[in-house]
Structure 1
Amino acid sequence: MSATTPVRNRPPSRPRIRRGGLLIGALLLAGADLFIKAQAEANLSRGEVIETPLLTIKLLYNTGVAFSLGASLPTGVVVAGTGVIIAALLTWLTVSAPKMSRTSFAGGILVAGGAVGNFIDRLDGAGVVDYLHSGWFPTFNLADVFVTVGAAVLVLGMLRPGKDPENRA
């Protein structure tokens, strides 16, 4: 009689989990951003302005990209250009995710979530909904905060290799 080895159901590989986690995290952040933008549009569409000590909340639309660059270009050109950039960014992030430190991984989720949120918002042709105004900086939204903070965290994680336990061999 020969001994048979039981077949084990292997759990998904770590790279697959990291890649899926990055994409799911990004989609959750993009969803939160889009929900808040919808609330801003619903509550500020008649020109309302809410003053707070740090920020003024008012509704604006940005038909360009960062700092309204390219606002005079046709919408299709802006959508296609940002779509190509985001596709390349998401490809790089998902390929790199298994090797990223925890810090870089968190930054990647923030960058991807913000980029996807603004891209989806841009698809209707009206421009990206912006609602946070500081008085000294162009008006921005939560997705912009995700991208900016995420880029800084991603770079910080890349500059500190070996500091995070996940980056050690």
Structure 2
Amino acid sequence: MMLNKINLGLMMSALLLSACGSNQGDDLDQFMANAGKNMSTTVAPLPEVKPYEPLQFNADQSLNDPFKARKVSGKLAPNLNRPREPLEGYPLESLKYVGSLSKNKLIYALIKTTDGNVQQIKIGNYLGANYGLVTQITDAVVTLKELVLDQASGDWVEQVTTMSLQEAEGGK
């Protein structure tokens, strides 16, 4: 019984395949034969290729070379051989001028650090990360002369900075 079903399936498949094999491909053969007749066999010549001429770039000699270390001019430069003072370890923005003292005609400024300590400085002391030299102390202001590295030229530049007296925390 099983063999009859297989034979019947094979005969049906053969019948279906023979029905698909008609002569309907004649028009396709005719199209393929005529398709190449209308094509031109000449190809237009390629345009002339101009030779590449690289552009010569001449940079201004005054521009900094980004691949060379910057040279610091000797006119202004911090003295790296002197001993560092304790207040140079703090950024200037974190220090506060909280008062002044005078002793033997010498005026001292009282500087409060971020950790709450108060230290006294006088003219000639250094404070802040930019080699700030104290040049003047008054009752209201401490004036510094800082040395800042100019990123564009690589030279040290003097910058005058002031610290104003801060009011005591908790009111007047």
Q: TM-score, normalised by structure 2?
A: 0.21
Q: Rg larger in 1 or in 2?
A: 2
- Counting strand residues as a fraction of each chain, which structure ranks higher? 2
Structure of higher RCO (CA pairs closer than 8 Å, 6+ residues apart): 1
Structure (1/2) with the larger helix percentage: 1
Please give the TM-score of this superposition, normalised by the length of structure 1: 0.21
